[in-house]
Amino acid sequence: MICTFQSKAQKTGLYKHILSDVVTISSRVLNENRKIYIHYPTPDTANLNKKYPVLYLMDAESHFDMLSQYTDYLSRWDVNVIPQMIVVGITNTKRTRDLTPTKSIINYFGQPDTSAISWMKPSGGNEAFLQFIREELMPYIETNYKTQPFKIFAGHSFGGIASINCMLTHPDMFDAYIAISPSLWWDGEYVLKLADKKLKKASVLKKTLFYSDASEGVKDSSSYHTNLLKFDTLLMNKALNGLDYKYKYYPTETHMTEPIVAYYDALRFIYKDWISPTKK
């Protein structure tokens, strides 16, 4: 019986947010199963062979919804400031192992963490993680989804140093790199030293790079912010040929709120010269 003073209402199902698959890849490189989230644009019925750039995202547990929503919204016909794209979100198994470039037990405060159960013990597996992406994940995505060659690699914190480390050691893997608050403190500023060594002055590096930091250095009086400034100065002095880069500092954001503004700014920066085919 329905009370006549109340409006009728009925639940008509669960809301379908956006299209995404979950794929489990049994990795030979890492000798474990890896769970991958893949978001893709609604198929264009007028052009079923349409191909899309691919954004590979670390820490998918934290930022996959955000990037899926951003790429969908910003590529809508009435917003139209970036192309539609595929977002490949890599979830973590052993995060510290995968995202750090060296084995180190020197913690954020510069002290060795010698405890037997130190979270830093399994560090230094970024090279193998990049091999997994290159040899197993990318072939899967390129076989099963409609991909363009253009690829973006995006990470936050340890994911930020993984992104920069990839650009320095395997620059050809991606076209654009996003490093949000990269942990440049890692292992006595290892990535800063690597950048100085790998990047020869005035050499060619036709890539796009966005990096940023937030209130970390201010909040904890650490060298977080100074390290970002050092990296920025290093890139300026190297005067690389073809590197299109931008640094943004967000002193009013925290380490964890920063990705909301920085991922947006990064996408706008990477596609600042993009002109929608429908606007040409």
The residue ranges that bind a copy of itself (CB under 8 A) are: 6-15, 17-29, 35, 37-39, 62, 64-66, 68-70, 72-74, 76, 78-81, 136, 139-140, 254, 256-257, 260-261, 264, 268
Smallest gap from residue 124 Cβ to a copy of itself (A):
23
Pairing, β 20-27 against β 32-39? antiparallel
Residues with Cβ < 8 Å from 246, sequence gap 6 or more? 209, 210, 211, 269
Residues with Cβ < 8 Å from 15, sequence gap 6 or more? none
Smallest gap from residue 271 Cβ to a copy of itself (A):
12
Upper half-sphere CA count for residue 184 (Cβ side, 13 Å): 25
Where does residue 186 fall: left (phi above 0), alpha (psi -120 to 50 degrees), or beta otherwise? beta
**Closer CB to a copy of itself, 79 or 204, in the complex:** 79
Smallest gap from residue 103 Cβ to a copy of itself (A):
25
**Closer CB to a copy of itself, 234 or 256, in the complex:** 256
Smallest gap from residue 244 Cβ to a copy of itself (A):
18
**Buried b / exposed e along 207-224 (16+ C-beta atoms within 10 A):** bbbbbbbbbbbeeeeebb
Smallest gap from residue 31 Cβ to a copy of itself (A):
11
**Closer CB to a copy of itself, 138 or 191, in the complex:** 138
Distances (CA, A) of 67 to 74, 107, 175, 269: 10, 30, 18, 15
**Closer CB to a copy of itself, 13 or 149, in the complex:** 13
